[in-house]
Amino acid sequence: MLRTVDVLSTSREYMVDAPTAGQRVKVELNSHNGPTLVEGVALHPAAKNHITIKLVNGYNASYPVEEILSLEILGSTPAVVESSPPQTITDSSLPRVRILHTGGTIASKVDYATGAVVARFEPEELIATLPELTELANIEAVKLGNMFSDDIRPQHWNAIIQASKQAFDDGCDGVVVTHGTDTLHISSAALSFAWGGKGEAPPGRIAFVGSQRSSDRGSSDASENLLSAVHWAAHGPAPHGDAGDGVVVVMHASNNDGICAVYPGIGVRKLHSSRRDAFQPVNCEPLAMITVENGKCSHALEEGYQALLDTNTPRQACQSPTKYETSVRIAQFIAGPWLHSEEIEAIVLTGVQAIIIQGTGLGHLPIEDPEKDAPENTKVWRALTRCINREIPVVVTNQCIHGPVDMNVYSKGRKQMQMGVLGHGSVAAPDTVIVKVHWALSNRMEVKDAVAANLCGEGNNLLRA
């Protein structure tokens, strides 16, 4: 039943019969361009003396009460249903895929009664939201947590590692890890080394997936990303191991719909804060492209990856993935005008086991004073030399992101190698190098040997021109 509510009063606050969260409303506003009509679902106000509405395009908008001319209640939108969901149907001809939910909006949906996005991690609930999944695989789901990805630490990597092992032990063909996007590429690298660091490959496909935009927005990438990740986990090629394909990241290939890219889990990075194609490869190429059309998926392997699968013997399947020591401490610095010896020496006193420095250009550090007017540089050189003499590994990565660390080109780089600075020749993504050092420290491998080795495809990537 339609009814009009006067939301204005002398105090400019809601009257008793103002809309409650979950009601569909039509609001007339006094805007800069004159009276304007907006329609959507009322949410809890984001601020005092405001009305907040989830618009039909999925965005939330708040308006001051003093700008509202009239408000019409159109009906109610039901909250998320928590009652008995439909039972999933098992098809013995389909692969078995387990979805591990760690957080993010990829496996979530909006509750219009509260305006909050809540995790939907039960298989029945996922399928109710995205029924096309039933055509790809028999879906299982496990909730490991519901965290913002910037809060994830090594103990959470270990939980994902253990859960993925359990999935394969239980007979699953593939695993999908739903994950917040901010550190998704770090966690994918962590699982890559856990399963492949000792020269093996996972017994099945592991795909990390996230979404840049929440599932309640019209521009959401959640559905296509999740469909593509499940498709890869169910129907992709068996992991080879040498191509960084033991663990992959599946996300939108462009800002448009229809195609998702499959990236090596050790060769990708989030390079944009909000675009749907935020994830891009670093010093490598995608492994495959997945086309999504009317809820149906198909994939095409990239030429280089197909050639590797055709000509090289795959690695042996790993049965016992390695873990990460949560007590490991790694310091990170950025080379530049603000790097001083005092910061390096102070952090050493905390007991760090390795130092990673994002070097400039080809991997250079401010350690020289040719004009005799920058004694700070000499102090940095001395501080790093003392670290190396104390057997604290100092590793240089590339703050340019793309391109190799090459300390042979300039005399400064050669001086760094003489000092014992590690990292020469690395083409791995900077965050991958840090995870690699952590894995080496956790598994009693010499850092210098790990940095120089190609453990699971991170050093076997084709350089871009």
Catalytic position from the list 54, 270, 379, 436:
270
CA distances to 32, 98, 250, 357, 365 from 288, rounded to whole Å, are 49, 21, 10, 32, 37
Does residue 289 sit in helix, strand or coil?
strand
Q: Where are the alpha helices (DSSP H) in 89-217?
A: 123-129, 154-169, 184-196
Catalytic position from the list 52, 88, 102, 105:
105
391: which strand partners?
A: none
First to last CA, the chain: 65
Does residue 45 sit in helix, strand or coil?
coil
Does residue 174 sit in helix, strand or coil?
strand
d(CA 220, CA 7): 33
181 carries an active-site annotation = yes
Instruction: Name the nearest CA neighbour of 229 among 426, 126, 97, 46.
Output: 97
Q: How many CB atoms lie within 10 A of CB 279?
A: 25
Query: Tokens 């962590």 appear where?
Result: 190
Question: Would you say 207 and 175 are in contact if contact means Cβ atoms under 8 Å apart?
Answer: yes
Catalytic position from the list 182, 257, 369, 406:
182
52 carries an active-site annotation = no
d(CA 428, CA 279): 15
Query: Residue 8: exposed, middle, or buried by beta-carbon count in 10 A (0-12, 13-18, 19+)?
Result: middle
- Locate 409 and state its tokens: 């080109």
114 carries an active-site annotation = no
- Locate 186 and state its tokens: 């770090």
Catalytic position from the list 181, 183, 322, 432:
181
> What are φ and ψ of residue 387, in 5° steps?
-60, -45
Annotated catalytic sites, by residue?
105, 181-182, 270
